[in-house]
């Protein structure tokens, strides 16, 4: 089978995802780290098991994508529209999903430690067995799925991350050392 450069694979994925999926079947490791998929419309691509570390899917339209067992560490999904994608056992540590629309997607066993979910719409996505969801960053504008699709021990009301912690009893110290 042919070996492709990252640029050639990017073109193949965009123009002929079926051929990419067929080519990928014979590969044990696929390195697509740091590839820019921004502003693309991708449908039915099999990225399972691939290294997509630090890749960007910002402002993309993604549907029926298989991200299972994929390394998506520090991937950028800002403002992406993601529909019916499979993130089973994906590594999403540090991924930025701010302002994304992620609907009807499966996150079974995905690790979301440090994943940014600010103003993200996760309606109808299955988060029941997500790992480290409480270690993700989210805000009051994050839209969660119904409780039957959420982990039992998760509290979406704790919207502030640790940097927001402050002691209300302490007055700020002025530059002259006075309170």
pLDDT digits (tens, 9 = 90+) for 99-145: 999 999 999 999 999 999 999 999 999 999 999 999 999 999 999 99
Q: In terms of pLDDT, which residue wins out, 153 or 171?
A: 153
**The pLDDT value given to residue 129:** 95
**What's the per-residue H, E or C state across 107-170?**
CCCCECCCCECCCCECCCCECCCCECHHHCECCCCCECCCHHHCCCCCCCCCCCCHHHCCCCCC
Tell me, yes or no, whether 166 lies in a domain.
no
Domain region containing 60: 29-155
- Cα–chain center distance at 19: 25
Q: Look at residue 149 and tell me if it is in a domain.
A: yes
Lowest mean pLDDT among 37-46, 114-123, 150-159, 170-179: 170-179
Work out the pLDDT band at 173, boundaries 50, 70, 90. low
Residue 15 lies in a domain: no
Q: Identify whether 173 is part of a domain.
A: no
Residue-level pLDDT at 176: 60
What pLDDT is recorded for position 69?
Answer: 97
56 part of a folded domain: yes
Quickly state the pLDDT bin for 167 (edges 50, 70, 90).
Answer: very low
What tokens appear for 55 in the block? 């890749």
Range scoring the smallest mean pLDDT among 58-62, 88-92, 145-149: 145-149
- Provide the pLDDT for residue 155: 76
Location of structure tokens 């979406």: 156
Q: Is residue 23 part of a domain?
A: no
- The pLDDT of residue 27: 85
Number of structural domains (the chain) is 1
* pLDDT tens, residue by residue, 28-77: 889 999 999 999 999 999 999 999 999 999 999 999 999 999 999 999 99
| Residue 76 belongs to some domain of the structure | yes
What pLDDT was estimated at residue 164? 47
Q: Is residue 8 part of a domain?
A: no
Q: At what angle do helices 6-15 and 17-24 cross, to 10 degrees?
A: 130
CATH of the domain at 63: 2.160.20.80
Longest Cα–Cα distance in the chain:
73
């Amino acid at each position: 089978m042919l070996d492709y450069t990252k640029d050639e694979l990017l073109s193949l994925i965009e123009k002929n995802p079926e051929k990419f999926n067929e080519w990928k079947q014979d590969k044990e490791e696929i390195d697509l780290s740091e590839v820019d998929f921004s502003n693309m419309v991708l449908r039915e691509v099999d990225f399972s098991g691939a290294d997509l570390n630090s890749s960007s899917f910002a402002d993309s339209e993604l549907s029926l994508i298989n991200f299972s067992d994929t390394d998506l560490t520090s991937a950028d999904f800002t403002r992406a529209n993601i529909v019916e994608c499979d993130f089973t056992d994906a590594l999403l540590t540090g991924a930025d999903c701010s302002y994304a629309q992620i609907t009807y997607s499966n996150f079974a066993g995905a690790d979301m430690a440090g994943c940014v979910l600010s103003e993200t719409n996760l309606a109808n996505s299955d988060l029941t067995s997500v790992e480290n969801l409480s270690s993700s960053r989210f805000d009051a504008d994050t839209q969660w799925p119904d409780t039957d699709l959420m982990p039992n021990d998760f509290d979406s009301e704790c919207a502030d991350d640790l940097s927001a912690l402050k002691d209300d009893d302490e007055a700020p110290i002025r530059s002259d050392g006075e309170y």
